[in-house]
Amino acid sequence: MTSKRRLSSNSRASILDAAQRVALREGSSHLTIDAVAKESGLSKGGVLYHFPSKEALLVAMVERLAAVLTGIVEERRPAHAHRRCPTLHALLDASASMDWLHSQAPSALLAAAAEKPELLAPIRGELLQYRACMEAETNDPDLAMLLWASADGLMLQLLLGVAPFAADRQQELVARLHDLADAVVP
């Protein structure tokens, strides 16, 4: 990779990081090219060079989120190969991943959903693929979906700062979901 291409890739990542910080700290209504430029330390033209519009920035944020989710699930799925419905177990792990929460990546979902819900298509596509995997791995994909939704609900409560439990308790609760999955998912 040339140094110019690496610099461009680093700039894109820095801009996306800045956009996520702005969205998380100030809310999606304050996610503007100007705010991202200020947060990233780049000029507005520098941001627009990489992302010609706010919509392009949001799309890139959601695509990166989908890639993060895929990376976590694919990394953790082999560890659950011995279990029924390894995809469910990998998704439970992804929901409980503190790296995922602290990466600020979920702010991309909130910003895109507030701005233009159809921008969520990349993440929706990933989730539909995981649903298809669970359908192939279990006789009760609806039950698997309910357990997955429970883990995501715990994550969302922590993300929004409204969880009725301490953050370190999330791991214990997701461990219970793993146990339930082993016990009840056929």
Range of the domain at 19: 1-52
Are both 78 and 123 inside the same structural domain?
A: yes
**Are 24 and 62 in the same domain?**
no
Rounded Cα distance, 18 and 148, in Å: 30
Domain count within the chain? 2
Q: Is residue 5 over pLDDT 60?
A: no
Domain identity same for 123 and 45: no
Say yes or no: 31 and 105 in one domain.
no
90 and 168 within one domain? yes
Q: How confident is the model at residue 11 (pLDDT cuts 50, 70, 90)?
A: confident
pLDDT in tens, 109-167: 777 777 788 888 888 888 999 999 999 999 999 999 999 999 999 988 887 778 898 88
In three-state form (DSSP H/G/I as H, E/B as E, the rest C), the secondary structure along the chain is CCHHHHHHHHHHHHHHHHHHHHHHHHCHHHCCHHHHHHHHCCCHHHHHHHCCCHHHHHHHHHHHHHHHHHHHHHHHHHHHCCCCCHHHHHHHHHHHCHHHHHCCCHHHHHHHHHHCHHHHHHHHHHHHHHHHHHHHHCCCHHHHHHHHHHHHHHHHHHHHCCCCCCCCHHHHHHHHHHHHHHHHCC
- Same-domain check for residues 103 and 155: yes
Q: Both 84 and 134 in a single domain? A: yes
Same domain, 101 and 18: no
Q: Are 140 and 67 found together in one domain?
A: yes
Residues 105 and 24 in one domain: no
Is 10 in the same domain as 69?
no
Q: Would the pLDDT of 17 be above 50? A: yes
pLDDT value for 101 = 55
Q: Which CATH number goes with the domain that contains 6?
A: 1.10.10
Contacts of 115 (CB under 8 A, 6+ apart): 28, 31, 54, 55, 58
Share of the chain above pLDDT 90, in %: 48
Residue whose entry in the numeric block shows the structure tokens 């140094």: 3
Task: Note whether 63 and 123 are same-domain residues.
Answer: yes
Residue closest to 106 by CA, chosen among 24, 28, 161, 19: 24
